[in-house]
Structure formats: C-alpha cells, structure tokens
Structure 1
C-alpha cells in the first residue's frame, strides 16, 4: 500500500474549494470547474467583502470612540482576511504545484519505515493541533453570536453599518445575515492559516527526511553507491530550499500583516475586557477571552512552524556529522566537508527576520534617546 505523504493537504484543499478559496479543480469537465469563478465570487462578495465594507462604514460613521474600537477589533480581522483571500487566489496554482511535486516527485517518496513513522507522527500531531485551533476559533464566534441573546438591547454581536431604523425594524434579518457570515468568514480565516502552516510543516519534515538519509549514508553500499546517494540527498535539499523561497513569497506578507493586525486586535479586546464585568454578561466575556486566545494562536502558529523549518535546517550539519564518515573514501569526505560549509547558513524566513530586526532597531533607538 502506497504511503500518502500529503494526506492532510487533501482535506485542506477540499475545504478551501468549498469555501471558494482554491480555484485549482482537479476534476476536469465538472460543473464545479466550469462555474467555479462565479461560485467563489458569489460566496466571497456576498459574505466576506460586503461584510467588511459594511464594518468599515460603521467605523467611519461612528460617533463614539468606544464604539469605533468595538467595531475595529472585528474589522481588522476581516481586513486581514480579505488580503489573505486575494493572496490565496493569486498563489493557488503555485501552491498546487508544490503539492503535486510532493505527491509524485521521486525524491520525496518516503523509503524506510523510520521515515514513514516519523512523518505519520508529526502529521498526526499537526492534525490534532489544527482541530483544536478550529474548534476554539469557531466556538469564539458562536459565543459572540449567542451573547446578544442575553441582553435586553437589540445590539448586533458584530456591529456593521445599516440604514436608519433598519436595526429596529429588521433586527432579526440583520442578525441572520451575521449568523451566516461570521462562521463562514471564520472558517475561511482558519483554513488559510492552517494551509499556510501545513506548507511550512511539510518543508520542515522534508528537511528532517534529508537529515535521516544523511545519517544512513554509510548503509548505501560501496563508495560509488554512497556518492550517488549523497548527491541525490544534496539535490533534494537544494530543491527544498528553492521551494522554501517560493513558499516565502506565498505566505510571508499575509503572515506579517496578520501578526501586526492581530497584535492591535488583542490590545482592543483587552481594553474592552477591562470595562466589562463577567457577572453582567458571562457569554460576552467568554467570547472575548476566546477571541484573544484565537488571535494569539494566529500569531504563534505560523511563527512556530517557520521556526521549525529553521531548526530542521540547522540540525542537518549534526545529522551529517553523525554519519559514519570515518570509514568513507577521501573523495566522499571532501564532499561532506564542502557540504558542511554550505550548511553553515540555515534556512530562514527573511521577511520575518527583517520585521524583527526593524522592531529591535526601533526599540534600541528609543532606549538611546
């Protein structure tokens, strides 16, 4: 039975297709493929884009700073989502090409049981973490939608602009629109975040496979077989580095924007929480707490998996040293020495490093003043 090394991505891409976020339809000639552009535009314009625009109008027309802050903590999330949707549409085919190569490429086929067990364990852990993230984020939206049922005023849980007197005359219609829109946009946001983390995880696991193959070089056979296996492994490593650079183009800007906006959202929510008592409306308070945790996870998860990519890249030199190189030929030892020099520069996500360096420089300048 063939080992499926992209099993998690199949579920993710199906979910992205249903949400109108993945224009790469593999079933040629199907109704969905022929009409998918209209399908995705209908979904995103009806829910995401329109809802974001109405929230923006509400902030512009707001007469109170507290109310504007209340809307902004949701508007910033929607604005980040709009950018991530457009970015996903633009880079979907490049990401699909990665998945196809990972599935069919000979160098990415897992050879040993140790590689398969490691891969299955890491993917299972990723699946559990992402299911927890999905459950927590959806539950925060549900709690916010339910919180308005426990107050006397006819207030929407996620305020957006409506014409005069519509909120009084058509409150339940406005509420029903939110009841459809918020879970939908929440799922879109979650699926894009999870897919970006999956790309980083897959690249990190590929580097781990490279390390395992470097450690087993001595088991390849004679010196010629060791040389061939070593060159194949180097070729795989270079291909992974190229993919990581292309992956950086796909996810670095959305992740940077998400981190900056999520940090602002956390500040807005904490400001709001200090003026709300748990006993007055426990559902609203719980929803805000869950929202803070969800925003924190949006910052933490891509940073964690990007760091895993760097960690696995740094571990390659250790894996190469752990190979039984003392009994190899002088030619293979020279190859290892050259490759060890190449491994001194680990793989990093340059955009994240540049943002961190900028923030540190700004902080240092303030301290000097």
Structure 2
C-alpha cells in the first residue's frame, strides 16, 4: 500500500463520488488526488515527471511498470489534458489502473477520465516521505548532460560568437541594445579590420617570399570569417539545438553506467578543448615574445600599418594591436572549431548509447519488457537521425571552408618554415612548428568526429545480432528485420553536399597540401 495505513481511514467511499464530475469543480473540499497509471513506456515516466506535465506532489514512486503519485488539484485540469501532453512528447498512451481497490467506472467516459481517489486535504503524506530519486534521473542538473561545451559557450559569449540571453524584460533599452550588438562592436574594429589589413599587406608584397610570410595567416583568418558569418547566420538554430540537447527528455540516461560513461567522454572533450586552446595561444605569444629580442623592428604577424611604425614610439602601438587582434581571433577560431566538433561528438555519443542499449537486450528474457525497451530504442534512433541532419546543416559550411583552405594554409606554412632559420629567429621557428601542428589538428578534429558518427551508426547493425532475438516471437523478429533494413541507409556527414566528412578526406587534404608545397618550391626556384 503506497499510502500509510493511518491515512487510509480518511479516504471517502468511491460510490459517493460522481466520476463524471470534472476534477476542478471541488477544489474547496478536495485538494489532493491519488492517481495510478500503468506505464507502457519507460520514457513516459521521465517525460511526465521531468517536465512536470502533471504537478507532482510530495510522493512519487514507480514499481512494476506502474506509477502512483499525489497531485495538487488546484493546478488546473491537468488530468483532462494529460493524453494530449503525452502525445506531444511522442510517447505512448497510459492505461488507467484502479487505485487502492477503488474502481470508478464510467462506460461512456472519454479517454481523459482516469480512475482516481479524492483525498481530503488532511490526508496528505507526512513531510518525512520525500519523492525518491528515479533511477533514470541520474544527473543533478540538466546542464551536466552537455558539460563538455558549457565553458566553451561562455567563452563564445565573451568573444561575441554566442548570443547573450535576455532574461529579464525589465532590462533597460541600452542594455538590450548592447547585448544584441556586442558582437559587431567587438569584431568590426578588431577581427575584420585586422584581417583586411593582412590581405592588403599580402597584395602589396614585392615577391613570393614576402607574400608567403603573410598569406599563411591571411588564409587562416579568411576561414575564420566564414565561421563567424556562419555562426551569426545560424545562431538561432544553433542555440535551439543546444537547448534541445540539454533539456530534452528523449536523451535521458537511465543507469549509472551510462551516466559515468557519458560524463567521462564529456570531460575528455573539455580536456581536448583546453589543450587545443593553450597550444594555439602558445603560437601567438611565442611569436610575440620572439620578435622582442630582435634588433630590428619586426611584427610577429605582418599586416599593413597605416602609419610609420618602425620606430620606438609607433612600434608598440602596432605591436599591441597585433597581439590583441591575434589573441581574439585565436580564441574565436578554436571555439568555433570546437562547437562544430562538439555537435558531431554529441551525435556520435548518442549512436554509442543506442549500441549499448541494443547489446543490453541480450539479458532481457521477458517478451513484454523486450518490446518496451525496443520501442524506446526505435524512438531514440529516429530522433538521433533527425538530429544528425540538423547538426550537418550547422557545421557543413565551416567544414567545407576548412577542407578547401587547409591545404593552402599548410602549404604556405611549410614554405615559410623553410625560410625561417632556427638560429636566426628561434622564437619564430618554434611558433611556426606549433602553428603547423595546430593547422593539422584543426582539419583532423572535424574529420575524426564525422568519422565517429558514421562508424558508430554503422555498428548498430552488428549490435542487433547481440540481442536476445532467437527467443522472440515472430512479430518481434519481423520488427528487428525491418529495423536492420532501415539501418542499411548510411549515416554520413557531408560538407556542403560535396565531401563526406571522415578520415579519408583528411588524408586527401594532407596529400593536396604536400602537392601544393612541392609546386610552390619549384615555382620559387
């Protein structure tokens, strides 16, 4: 018995209640209702409780596929709206069950009317009885599901690459205006102006050697412009997708093992971002420090300076603007690379989660439980396929530009590294080695995570064989066969509908870079 025995005597006789009377017509007499529902889908419980589609009270439990809870009747006609709400969540319907042997029948009642027992307000569960923590609700906060990207999003907000939330409508007009236009105030005078001056310097070069000192960084910054314009144009879609990954109950983890695995992978991605960012900033600051020890005035990253700067007074103005602009562009470039890679990384984790749950079906011997779990897997797989298409629309333009431009960037980086002597300028030589490694990593990461999506989606076919399919009924076996036919459609991330993002395209890009480098050396001779 879910309700303590000392409160059972306060339960009124069900025959004295008219089941056709709406729930919200006796608010003054009855403030609490006890509802028992049979759950056809495990996700249904999580959907209802997590999003509070029905107002959960002081007690809630799930046992043997059923849920009993006390709900406050003052919060509206949620019982009548419950089936529609479940339908909008894409879950199966609930079947009503009698509560505490009190069955209220109504032959012509609509589907919204559920058997309930009305309890007086005094018949509340004692405060000591708290709602137990459901096994599927492992994470303390929803943001932990995407903890690998939360810090990156904060960095992107500071850098004007992610929209600032406007939480309070009472904010002043000036504050709202600054939040909406902060990105333009930051990037127009620094990022776009600096990149334009770099290209102007490259166009005014007298020979190929002088142009090569600027072009390797100018092409890199050109790829950054494409990334910035892409994220600005798709900021609404990207933000909605991120909120969906954080809050949607469809991706709820249901066991401690899944939670530990998920958090471990999220921490690994966060660690990867930190290393990537530190190495990239090391390229900037090693170049900036190295030129300070030279006898002549040299800028760490050459650009067109509209005033005389080769003197003690003007040099530090040009040097300061150079260092500030390169720091901002470096952080922005790495952050935009990582958020695109994170979308692919998150999708690959979902495919891995599907494979783990399919493999776990080998230990399920009950036919009904097997079908319930299989339906949950089908729903998650369908949503993951649609999520893959949404991620591709966001990351495709920037990956396409990176694939096309990376060959030229690596080519000019190797060309400049050949002309920089380690004894003449050790700081520049070390920074060029670091820059070359960062450029290889920049093209490798999206190819790697795109390959992960394809690989783990393809592995689902093998995972189906690990299920307990030999003991299933014919109808369930036919369902598994249809699912395997559906899995024959390959899942691939495409860059601008031209290239399939994966490790093969990475190898082709490196080969093209070497071909351009050899051609450039022959041309310079």
The normalised TM-score by structure 1 is: 0.92
Q: 2:205·2:211 contact (CA, 8 Å) conserved in 1?
A: yes
Q: Distance in 1 between matches of 2:176 and 2:352?
A: 36
Q: Are 1:223 and 2:363 an aligned pair?
A: no
Mapped to 2, the partners of 1:287 and 1:162 lie a distance apart of 22
Which structure is larger by alpha-carbon Rg, 1 or 2?
A: 2
What is the alpha-carbon distance in structure 2 between the residues aligned to residue 352 and residue 23 of structure 1? Answer: 25
Flag the 1:300–1:248 CA change in 2: closer, same or farther, 3 A. Answer: same
Shift, 1:167, TM fit: 4.0
Distance in 1 between residues matched to 2:444 and 2:319, nearest whole Å: 32
TM-fit CA distance, 1:9: 2.1
2:253 aligns to what SS in structure 1?
coil
**Which one has a larger percent helix, Structure 1 or Structure 2?**
1
Task: Say whether 1:236 aligns with 2:380.
Answer: yes
The 5-angstrom pairing of residues 57-136 of structure 1 reads: 57-136=200-279
Given the two structures, how large is their TM-score scaled by the length of structure 2?
0.65
Question: Match for 1:160 among 303, 321, 333?
Answer: 303
- Listed one character per residue, the Cα deviations across residues 53-101 of structure 1 (whole Å, up to 9, x for unaligned) are 1111111222222111111111111111111001011112212212222
Query: Following the alignment from structure 1 to structure 2, what is the Cα–Cα distance between the partners of residues 247 and 160?
Result: 36
Deviation at 1:186, TM superposition (A): 0.2
Structure number with higher relative contact order (C-alpha < 8 Å, ≥ 6 residues apart): 1
Is 1:300 paired with 2:437?
no
Tell me, which stretches of 5 or more residues in structure 2 are unaligned?
1-137, 513-525
Partner of residue 432 from structure 2, selected from 272, 283, 288: 288
- Structure with the largest fraction of strand: 2
**Residues 115-163 of structure 1, C-alpha deviation per residue, up to 9 Å, x if partnerless?**
1121122122222222111111110111111121121221211111122
Q: Distance in 2 between matches of 1:164 and 1:96?
A: 42
| Contact 1:24 1:96 (C-alpha < 8 Å) held by counterparts | no
The match for 2:104 is none
Aligned equivalent of 2:492, options 345, 348, 366: 348
Q: Shift of the alpha carbon at 1:191?
A: 0.5
Q: Distance in 1 between matches of 2:242 and 2:433?
A: 36
**Alignment correspondent of 2:163:** 23
Report how far residue 194 of structure 1 moved. 0.8
The 1-side partners of 2:380 and 2:275 are apart by 33
Residues 1:188 and 2:332 aligned together: yes
User: Is the 8 Å Cα contact of residues 458 and 490 (structure 2) preserved in structure 1?
Assistant: yes
In 1, Cα distance between equivalents of 2:380 and 2:223 = 35
Q: CA deviation at 1:343?
A: 1.1
User: What value does the CA root-mean-square deviation take over the aligned residues?
Assistant: 2.2
- Partners of 2:229 and 2:378 in 1: CA distance: 35
Is there any run of 5+ residues in structure 1 with no aligned partner, and where? 364-369
Aligned-partner Cα distance in 1 for 2:497–2:232: 26
Q: Distance in 2 between matches of 1:24 and 1:255?
A: 25
State whether residues 12 and 191 of structure 1, in contact with CA within 8 Å, keep that contact through their aligned partners in structure 2: yes
